[in-house]
């Protein structure tokens, strides 16, 4: 290519770029004018950071069709990460999901969320009465979140390969199961499980001595762990393929494995106690689209959707009216097996997830054991 | 106009300092986008990370701007981090060697013995995996190397193994194999670009002059494709230092690399602690690039590709 060609092509390139730029600008201006000219429509969009099992697509589409409210969802990986994110972006989010003690001790304590009168939401009458009065979420300013789902962390085992039937965290440390355990990739929770195994009650606020004991258990656990699951479905799939004989997870995995064509598995809550979670939808204090949240919750928390959510995701929720729908639909047995209507007594036996004083040391400990 | 730009400051009258300055600015203008990108997306974030790495996190997971060396002390006094960094470098170096060898053989064959048309088709086949997502490619290796995967089925079917082996995946070996697979195309493309420009009659000439095949290869070919080799090293070794996804998916609990430990800090909002580990990796990579730069003259890249 000679110099003349170069110049010509450059000129052409500039001309083409200018034309494209002008067209795009014109299009943008036209679109903006159209938007300004249109009458205001009911509804709108809001930003919601949540876990993938807090909604189902059909539910969102139905709400969009009826109320024109569309949540723009960003995936929530974990409580600490979500909390750090909200502190950073504040009013760019409108609704946030959070677990148990993270709600009062982190989000509320930092002034990031706005308490509200839960009884103002008509749909809240569908909740179990105790779910409207959780002490940890009750403040003089109002209720801190709209209760959604809950579960204790259980251990699931393949009944053919894991014998005798275990009842303790100790099964995870048994050398018989080398390379046969899959645990979700949440370092602070894995340390908490081993805390429970060692008999510690307050596993998110462990002393150095307790952490030293936990380190020994983590070292026993390491050779048994095949892999860390990035999400709950990875654990379920490992059970289905029988790569894993033991997994940790929420209530409901027996059916998920069975539905996937996997072997018979059973779950149990370890006798030493376990960690539990109960989550809620919080209203972000500085959210710019807060006005959409009550109308959205009125629709999205209706029993029909919650029952559908239970059938899809298989862990209990706080909506009592949904339980009745499940019974009517012939899903009552499944709901009972997953302790759907026993939230209060089950959660009382667990250590609820929350921020703790030993988080940093737990991570250091986990890295120390699972690094090279 | 063109002459003025090309000539720049040299053609400007000696007294016209302003004109000279503006000519120099015009010369620098094309570098502005690159400067903005480097400063905005590399220098500034790195500086922020450096500052954060000297701070700490309180119990509320707030970053506390109190200067401390504790994060670096933790890294160097805890042998796990140093060991894991070392292991990451060893795996990275091993994968780089494998990638270079495999890619060199492929690129050499294509550039010397295959017509340009067919070589391009072969290169297209090499880069076809890039059309699918990285995640999908790694997942597919889980299916190949897993206990019930294709490899085990073949080996058991052939009678080589009596029962499926657990040794192919969820360990360092699995990480190594998958990383090599992922990075071979990068090395192959770079090496092909170098070898394509090499005049292979030089090898014949060297042998005519008495050099053995190894000497001809070492003293004639290698020096001329050195920029390609170094660039391939950069494209393979450095990204592996930051590899997070592959080790977490096929490395299992035994095959974690330094980026996995780093991610654990960020996942739990321990930003300064993570920043210190991240900065050390970034500093190491920068030092490595400086070393590579010593062996990579810009004109080599521009002239020889």
The pLDDT tens digits for B165-198 are: 888 999 999 999 999 999 999 999 999 999 998 9
Residue A242 has pLDDT above 50, yes or no: yes
Which stretch of DSSP H or E encloses residue A186?
A: none
pLDDT at residue number B126: 87
Q: With CB atoms and an 8 Å threshold, state whether B268 touches A188.
A: yes
CA distance B246 to A204: 30
Interface residues of A toward B, Cβ cutoff 8 Å, are 7, 77-78, 80-81, 83-84, 87, 106, 109-110, 179, 185-188, 222-223, 225-228, 230, 241-243, 355-357, 359-360, 363-364, 366-372
Q: Does residue A106 surpass a pLDDT of 60?
A: yes
Classify each residue of A144-153 as buried b or exposed e, where b means 16 or more C-beta atoms within 10 Å of its C-beta.
bbbbbbbbbb
Assess whether pLDDT exceeds 70 at residue A202.
Answer: yes
Cβ of B268 within 8 Å of Cβ of A81? The answer is yes
Q: Distance between CA B224 and CA B196 in Å, rounded?
A: 11
Return d(Cα B281, Cα B298) in angstroms, integer: 25
Grouping H, G, I as helix, E, B as strand and the rest as coil, residue A145 is coil
Which of B74, B148, B252 minimises the CB distance to A226? B252
Rounded to the nearest angstrom, the minimum Cα separation between A179 and chain B is 8
Cβ distance of A81 and B267 shorter than 8 Å: yes
| CATH 3.40.190.10, chain A: domain bounds | 44-150+278-348, 152-275+354-370
Q: Under an 8 Å CB criterion, which residues of B touch A? A: 2, 57, 59-62, 74, 78, 80-81, 83-84, 86-87, 146-148, 166, 170, 248-249, 251-254, 256, 261, 264-271, 273
Q: What average pLDDT is seen over chain B?
A: 87
For A11-32, write each residue's pLDDT tens digit: 565 565 556 555 555 554 554 4
Give every CB contact of residue A210 below 8 A, 6+ residues apart in sequence: A195, A198, A200
Tell me the per-residue pLDDT of B202-242, one tens digit each, with 9 for 90 and over.
999 999 999 999 999 999 999 999 999 999 999 999 999 99
pLDDT digits (tens, 9 = 90+) for B69-110: 999 998 999 888 999 999 999 999 999 999 999 999 999 999
Q: Which of A77, A226, A242 sits opposite B253 (nearest CB)?
A: A226
Mark yes or no for CB contact B268/A80 under 8 Å: yes
Domain annotation for chain B: domains and CATH numbers: 78-304 (1.10.3720.10)
Give the pair of three-digit tokens for residue B147. Answer: 């206990």
Q: What percent of chain A has pLDDT over 90?
A: 79
Residue B248 has pLDDT above 60, yes or no: yes
- Tell me the count of A-B CB pairs closer than 8 A: 101
| pLDDT surpasses 60 at B134 | yes
CB atoms under 10 Å from CB of A287, counted, come to 23
Q: How confident is the model at residue A81 (pLDDT cuts 50, 70, 90)?
A: confident
Residues of B in contact with A356 (CB under 8 A): 59
Report the top-level CATH class of A152-275+354-370.
alpha beta
The topology (CATH level 3) of A44-150+278-348 is D-Maltodextrin-Binding Protein; domain 2 (3.40.190)
Of A106, A241, A372, the CB nearest to B80: A372
Mean pLDDT of A342-361: 91
Taking an 8 Å cut-off on Cβ atoms, the answer to whether B80 and A371 are in contact is: yes
Three-state DSSP at A96 gives strand
A304-335 b/e (C-beta count within 10 Å ≥ 16 → b)? ebbbbbbbebbbbbbbbbbbbbbbeeebbebb
Give the Å distances, CA to CA, from A216 to A44, A345, B261.
53, 32, 19
Say yes or no to pLDDT of A73 above 60: yes
Q: Which of B199, B193, B220, B198 is nearest to B209 (CA)?
A: B220
Q: Shortest CB distance from B60 goes to which of A106, A226, A372? A: A106
- pLDDT surpasses 70 at A194: yes
| Cβ contact B87–A372 (<8 Å) | yes
Query: What band does B15 get if pLDDT is binned at 50, 70 and 90?
Result: low
- pLDDT tens for each residue of A270-308: 999 999 999 999 999 999 999 999 999 999 999 999 999
- In the predicted model, is pLDDT for residue B304 greater than 80? no
């Amino acid at each position: 290519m000679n110099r003349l060609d170069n110049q010509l092509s450059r000129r052409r390139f500039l001309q083409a770029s200018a034309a494209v730029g002008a067209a795009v600008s014109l299009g943008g201006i036209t679109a903006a004018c159209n938007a300004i000219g249109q009458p205001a429509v009911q509804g709108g969009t809001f930003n919601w950071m949540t876990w993938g099992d807090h909604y189902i697509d059909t539910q969102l589409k139905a709400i969009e069709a009826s109320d024109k409210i569309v949540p723009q969802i960003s995936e929530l990986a974990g409580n600490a990460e979500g909390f750090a994110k909200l502190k950073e972006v504040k009013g760019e989010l409108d609704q946030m999901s959070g677990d148990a003690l993270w709600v009062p001790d982190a989000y509320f304590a930092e002034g990031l969320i706005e308490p509200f009168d839960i009884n103002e939401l008509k749909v809240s009458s569908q909740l179990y009465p105790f779910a409207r009065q959780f002490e940890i979420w009750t403040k003089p300013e109002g209720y801190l979140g709209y209760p959604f789902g809950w579960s204790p962390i259980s251990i699931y085992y393949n009944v053919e390969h894991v014998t005798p039937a275990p009842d303790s965290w100790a099964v995870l440390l048994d050398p018989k199961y080398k390379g046969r355990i899959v645990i979700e990739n949440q370092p602070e929770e894995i340390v908490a499980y081993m805390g429970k195994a060692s008999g510690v009650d307050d596993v998110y606020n462990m002393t150095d001595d307790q952490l030293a004991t936990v380190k020994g258990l983590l070292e026993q656990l390491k050779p048994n762990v095949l892999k860390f699951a990035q999400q709950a479905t990875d654990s379920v799939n490992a059970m289905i393929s029988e790569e894993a004989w033991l997994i940790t997870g929420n209530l409901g995995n027996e059916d998920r494995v069975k539905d996937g064509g996997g072997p018979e598995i059973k779950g149990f809550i370890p006798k030493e106690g376990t960690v539990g979670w109960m989550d809620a939808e919080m209203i972000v204090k500085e959210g710019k689209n807060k006005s959409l949240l009550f109308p959205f919750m009125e629709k999205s928390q209706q029993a029909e959707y919650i029952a559908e959510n239970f059938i899809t995701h298989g862990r209990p929720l706080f909506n009592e009216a949904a339980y009745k729908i499940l019974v009517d639909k012939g899903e009552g047995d499944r709901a009972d097996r997953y302790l759907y209507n026993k939230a209060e007594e089950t959660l009382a036996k667990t250590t609820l997830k929350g921020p703790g004083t030993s988080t940093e040391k737990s991570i250091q400990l986990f890295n120390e054991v699972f690094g090279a | 106009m063109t002459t003025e730009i090309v000539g720049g400051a040299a053609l400007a009258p000696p007294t016209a300092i302003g004109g000279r300055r503006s000519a120099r600015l015009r010369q620098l203008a094309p570098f502005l986008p690159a400067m903005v990108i480097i400063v905005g997306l590399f220098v500034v974030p790195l500086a922020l990370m450096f500052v954060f790495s000297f701070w700490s996190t309180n119990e509320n997971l707030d970053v506390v701007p109190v200067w401390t060396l504790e994060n670096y002390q933790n890294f160097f006094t805890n042998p796990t981090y140093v060991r894991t960094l070392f292991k990451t470098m060893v795996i990275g170096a091993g994968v780089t060697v494998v990638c270079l060898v495999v890619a060199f053989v492929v690129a050499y064959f294509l550039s010397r013995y295959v017509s340009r048309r067919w070589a391009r088709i072969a290169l297209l086949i090499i880069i076809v995996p890039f059309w699918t997502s990285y995640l999908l490619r790694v997942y597919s290796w889980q299916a190949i190397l897993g206990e019930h995967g294709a490899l085990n089925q073949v080996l058991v079917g052939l009678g080589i193994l009596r029962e499926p082996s657990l040794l192919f995946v969820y360990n360092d070996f699995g990480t190594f194999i998958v990383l090599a697979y992922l990075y071979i195309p990068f090395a192959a493309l770079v090496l092909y670009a170098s070898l394509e420009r090499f005049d292979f009659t030089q090898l014949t000439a060297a042998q005519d002059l008495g050099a053995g095949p190894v000497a001809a290869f070492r003293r004639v070919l290698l020096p001329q494709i050195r920029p390609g080799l170094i660039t391939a090293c950069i494209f393979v070794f450095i990204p592996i230092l930051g590899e997070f996804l592959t080790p977490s998916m096929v490395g299992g609990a035994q095959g974690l690399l330094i980026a996995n430990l780093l991610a654990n800090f960020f996942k739990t909002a321990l930003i300064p602690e993570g920043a210190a580990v991240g900065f050390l990796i970034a500093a190491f990579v920068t030092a490595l690039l400086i070393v590579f730069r010593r062996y990579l003259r810009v004109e080599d890249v521009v002239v020889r590709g």
